[in-house]
Structure 1
């Protein structure tokens, strides 16, 4: 059930395209809230708003903020953009987009005529924090001369404007374009599914390297299959079907206190060992021998080594690359110095993608 409260906007804190953060007063208490401008219109001081306060009330990490559901002082909001595809279908906030596939789209013909990714490298991650690391290392390794396109899945946050990371990567010219598919929305290009999203990245956005990952807020239960990151295996299958070169980022950590995430996470073991039915390149960071030995044991036990191609990369410069671009990235609250293996795994995947580009 949804917990709903009414409040008044008392201060506009910040904004970027499609996203505004405000302070609201709810029952005399000053609290932060997020407004998606293309869903509920612009917001200003003094506006009366209806808020979904569920996540904060439940002390949730994922989605842990108030969201403006409606602005009472915006009596009418008109959808002026073309398109007929609805995302978040049959929900009160369903939003209309112009998908690349539909006849009205200027890109429909090229999507219909493009059948292959032509071995384009596609990095497939699971956490949103993997995106800035992989993208920045790709940019560094290519001297900024590659078109890097990000495809955001609907495995976590649905509105792309929520991601400050994407906004920053585009402002720094690390990402050249974005695509959202499924019920995710707000990318430069909209697509119905992973297949047309990949084709749009290749043929419309002219990607040299594609990175696919969910937005902020992976959902997990601690069970073997109960997490949204299982999509990694399914996306690898899709990349192979379309003739691309899939490269998996394994989730690796030696700092996580949870045993199931030590070394190669059980998430990766499930996604690559059981869900992925077709092979990919699994890029690993070359760590000290005892850690490599632990990873090798996990690769064997999970079935990953038998099913996929494993290659090690010296990605120790990943932290320096993040500093070069002024990116302050954390995963599960940890930075590079606290959990270098996680970041180096992302850097290794980026190096593999650049290597694939050069071969092509």
Structure 2
């Protein structure tokens, strides 16, 4: 059940498009009379000001969760935002929750892009061979972009955020920074996720919008921050990466499976190629896809290459291991305009995790030449 708290805004800690972080002093009758971090999504609750009374959902904070370990402002009851000045369309997301919202989806009838989405290419479901990189962790996004930009800095890259993790794209400061730096040409939020440059009802229509509305050269599909896992092979939201590759194959795109790899994770099931990648790409993906691995003489990379070839031999789909030149990838990763972090580990703590994502990006960029 939700754990409610009431508090008073003390100061603004930070802001980025769609979100403001505050320090909030809990009310005197709260179990802990202390200051907490609290996030407000401006499209939902407006922008509370210092001194405003706010109602908080403190459940994740009180449980000490990682990505979601902060309070969320549910309302500033004494300063409610006004109604939107323009119609939001007819597609409801976060459906049947108290904070459901209506959006203009790129694929609905009243959308200014409906004609494109019902045109001969989009309606037929044709991505025209567009490379699409798929990964399971949101932390892979900046590394994938680094790999793409190393060879094709001019490429138009569109990020599609699925709904396995955070639903509001505004939760991701990385997306805001990468967009501001010009590393992303646009964003599409699909399913129940919301807040992108465009909304789409399904991943399929989102991919078609990326190609035919945003004119993407390359698309990247990853769930938002805060994935859910249970330590079991199937109870993990990232297995949807396999379904994403199925969508890419169905629509005539070129699927690129970014491996989740680690040489630092102490859990055996994540050493080398994570069991999540093995499940998503080996069991769920039923179409052709490329699996990029960097070509090095490193003993760990040799292990991963062997694991990748074994995965390709037993996969339900037609996986092809592709060797990628790692030259320049480390330098590209160190030039990323955000802090690289995955499962609490940075670039030098878990270098392989980012190197393999960057290799997937570089391979996608080179597909543009073929």
TM-score per shorter chain, which class?
A: over 0.9
**Deviation at 1:316?**
4.6
Q: Closer, same or farther in 2 for the Cα pair 1:333/1:319, shift >3 Å? A: farther
How many residues are aligned here? 358
Change (3 A) 1:288 1:161: same
Once residues 331 and 211 of structure 1 are traced to their aligned partners in structure 2, the CA distance between those partners, rounded to angstroms, is: 18
Query: Which segment is superposed worse, 279-288 or 3-12?
Result: 279-288
Structure 2 counterpart SS, 1:358: coil
Q: In the alignment, which of 331, 355, 358 is matched to residue 320 of structure 1? A: 331
Give the C-alpha shift of residue 304 in structure 1. 5.3
Cα displacement string for residues 259-290 of structure 1 (whole angstroms, at most 9, x for unaligned residues): 00000000000001101111200111223353
Could you tell me which residue of structure 2 aligns to residue 231 of structure 1?
Answer: 240
Residues 44 and 304 of structure 1: CA distance in aligned 2, closer, same or farther (over 3 Å): farther
Please give the residue correspondences for 1:126-275 in structure 2 after superposition, counting only pairs within 5 Å. Answer: 126-142=136-152, 144-275=153-284
Q: Is contact 1:272-1:304 (8 Å) kept?
A: no
Unaligned stretches of 5+ residues in structure 2: 28-32
Is 1:343 aligned with 2:354? Answer: yes
Q: Pairwise mapping of residues 120-131 of structure 1 onto structure 2 (< 5 A)?
A: 120-131=130-141
CA RMSD of aligned residues (A): 1.5
1:36 has 2:41 as partner:
yes
1:70 to 68, 71, 75: 75
For structure 1, the 5+ residue unaligned runs are none
Q: Is the 8 A contact 1:127 1:214 kept in 2?
A: yes
- Show the counterpart of 2:322: 311
> 1:203, 1:183 → 2: CA distance?
22
Between 1:301-310 and 1:272-281, the stretch displaced more is 301-310
The residue that corresponds to 2:85 in the other structure is 80
Shift of 1:300: 5.1
With over 3 angstroms needed to count, the CA separation of the structure-2 counterparts of 1:10 and 1:292, relative to structure 1, is closer
Superimposed CA distance per residue, residues 144-200 of structure 1 (whole angstroms, 9 cap, x where no aligned partner):
211111111101011111111011111111111100011111100000010010011
Partner of 2:30: none
Inter-CA distance 327–49: structure 2 relative to 1 (3 Å threshold): closer
| Structure 2 match to 1:89 | 95
Aligned to 1:21: 21
CA offset digits 1:20-50 (Å, max 9, x no partner): 1111110341111000010111211111111
2:108 — aligned with what?
102
What stretches of structure 1 move > 3 A for 4+ residues in a row? 299-307
- Deviation string, structure 1 residues 192-231 (Cα, Å, up to 9, x no partner): 0100100110011100011110111111111010100111
- Rounded to whole Å, the distance in 2 between the matches of 1:335 and 1:234 is 29
Q: Within 2, Cα distance between the matches of 1:146 and 1:8?
A: 46
Q: For the Cα contact (< 8 Å) 2:45–2:80, is it kept in 1? A: no
In structure 2, what is the Cα distance between the partners aligned to 1:81 and 1:140?
Answer: 40
Aligned-pair distance for 1:339?
1.7
Residues 130 and 175 of structure 1, relative CA distance in 2, 3 Å threshold: same
Residues 92-133 of structure 1, C-alpha deviations (whole Å, 9 max, x = no match): 010111100111110011011113100000000111111001
Tell me the TM-score normalized by structure 1: 0.95
